[in-house]
Amino acid sequence: MLKNDLLDQWDRENFFHPSTHLAQHARGDSPSRVIKTASGVYIEDRDGHKLLDAFAGLYCVNAGYGRQEITDAIAAQAKELAYYHSYVGHGTEASITLSKMILDRAPANMSKVYFGLGGSDANETNIKLIWYYNNILGRPEKKKIISRWRGYHGSGLVTGSLTGLELFHKKFDLPLANVLHTQAPYYFRREDLGQSEAEFVAHCVTSLEEMIAREGADTIAAFIGEPVLGTGGIVPPPAGYWPAIQEVLKKHDILLVVDEVVTGFGRLGSMFGSDHYGLEADIITIAKGLTSAYAPLSGSIIGEKLWKVLEQGTDENGPIGHGWTYSAHPICAAAGVANLKVIEALDLMNNARDLGAYLKGALADALGDHPHVGDVRGEGLLCAVEFVKDKDDRIFFDTSEKIGPQISAALLAQSQVIARAMPQGDILGFAPPFCLTHAEADIVVAATVQAVGAVLG
Segment contacting ligand PLP by CB under 6 A, of 107-115, 117-125, 128-136, 238-246: 117-125
For residues 367 and 245, what is the distance between their CA atoms, to the nearest angstrom?
Answer: 33
Question: Is position 261 an interface residue for ligand PLP (rule: CB under 6 A)?
Answer: yes
Site string for ligand PLP, 150-179 (x = CB under 6 A): --xxx-------------------------
Residue of 119, 160, 225, 269 interacting with ligand PLP (CB under 6 A): 119
Question: Is position 427 an interface residue for ligand PLP (rule: CB under 6 A)?
Answer: no
3-state secondary structure 98-123: HHHHHHHHCCCCEEEEEEECCHHHHH
Segment contacting ligand PLP by CB under 6 A, of 44-52, 224-232, 332-340, 373-381: 224-232
Which parts of 52-71 interact with ligand PLP (CB under 6 A)? 58
Residue of 86, 92, 231, 415 interacting with ligand PLP (CB under 6 A): 231
> C-beta of 413: minimal distance to ligand PLP in Å?
25
Q: Are the beta carbons of 301 and 259 closer than 8 angstroms?
A: no
CA nearest neighbour of 236 among 122, 434, 33, 380: 380
Which residues are 50's β-sheet partners?
44
For residues 293 and 335, what is the distance between their CA atoms, to the nearest angstrom?
Answer: 9
Which lies closer to ligand PLP via its Cβ, residue 428 or residue 455?
428
Helix (H) or strand (E) holding 350: helix 348-367
Site string for ligand PLP, 184-223 (x = CB under 6 A): ----------------------------------------
For residues 146 and 212, what is the distance between their CA atoms, to the nearest angstrom?
Answer: 9
Residue of 118, 238, 336, 425 interacting with ligand PLP (CB under 6 A): 118
Question: Is position 228 an interface residue for ligand PLP (rule: CB under 6 A)?
Answer: no
Burial category of 384 from C-beta neighbours within 10 Å (exposed 0-12, middle 13-18, buried 19 and up): buried
- E strand spans, 397-443: 417-418, 420-421, 427-430
Q: Please tell me whether residue 242 adopts helix, strand or coil conformation.
A: helix
Q: Are the beta carbons of 360 and 436 closer than 8 angstroms?
A: no
Residue of 113, 190, 212, 226 interacting with ligand PLP (CB under 6 A): 226
Question: Is position 147 an interface residue for ligand PLP (rule: CB under 6 A)?
Answer: no
Residue nearest to ligand PLP (CB): 119
Question: Is position 127 an interface residue for ligand PLP (rule: CB under 6 A)?
Answer: no
Phi-psi region of 102 (alpha: psi -120 to 50; beta: other; left: phi over 0): alpha
* Site residues for ligand PLP per CB under 6 A: 58, 118-120, 123, 152-154, 226, 230-231, 259, 261-262, 287
